[in-house]
Amino acid sequence: MRDLDRADLDRVLADITAIRSQVAAGTAFQGYGPTALAATGALALAATVAQAALLDDPTGRPLTFLAGWIAVAIVSIGAEMLARSRRHHSGLADAMILNAVEAFLPAGAAGALLLLVLARLAPESLWLLPGLWQVLVGLGLFASLRALPRPVALAAGWYVVAGLGTIAASVEGHALSPWTMGLPFALGQGLLALILHRAPGGDHE
Give the separation between CA 56 and CA 58, rounded to whole angstroms: 6
**In this predicted model, what pLDDT tens digit does every residue of 97-137 receive, in sequence order?**
556 567 777 888 899 899 999 999 999 999 999 999 999 99
**In this predicted model, what pLDDT tens digit does every residue of 55-81 receive, in sequence order?**
888 888 888 899 888 888 887 766 556
For CA atoms 59, 131, 134, 123, the dihedral sign is negative
Mean pLDDT of the 148-175 span: 92
Give the separation between CA 37 and CA 135, rounded to whole angstroms: 18
Give the separation between CA 97 and CA 85, rounded to whole angstroms: 7
CA terminus-to-terminus distance, the chain: 54
**Tell me, what's the pLDDT at 157?**
96
**In this predicted model, what pLDDT tens digit does every residue of 8-34 receive, in sequence order?**
556 655 655 555 444 444 444 455 567
DSSP for 42-92, please give it: HHHHHHHHHHHHH-S-GGGSHHHHHHHHHHHHHHHHHHHHHHHHHHHHGGG
Total count of residues recorded for the chain: 205
List Cα–Cα distances, 17 to 5, 25, 45, 73, 169, in angstroms: 18, 12, 41, 31, 49
Cβ neighbors of 75 (< 8 A, separation 6 or more) are: 43
Longest dimension (CA), the chain: 76
Q: What percent of the chain has pLDDT over 70?
A: 68
Neighbours of 111 (CB within 10 A): 21
Q: Are 114 and 46 in contact (CB under 8 A)?
A: no
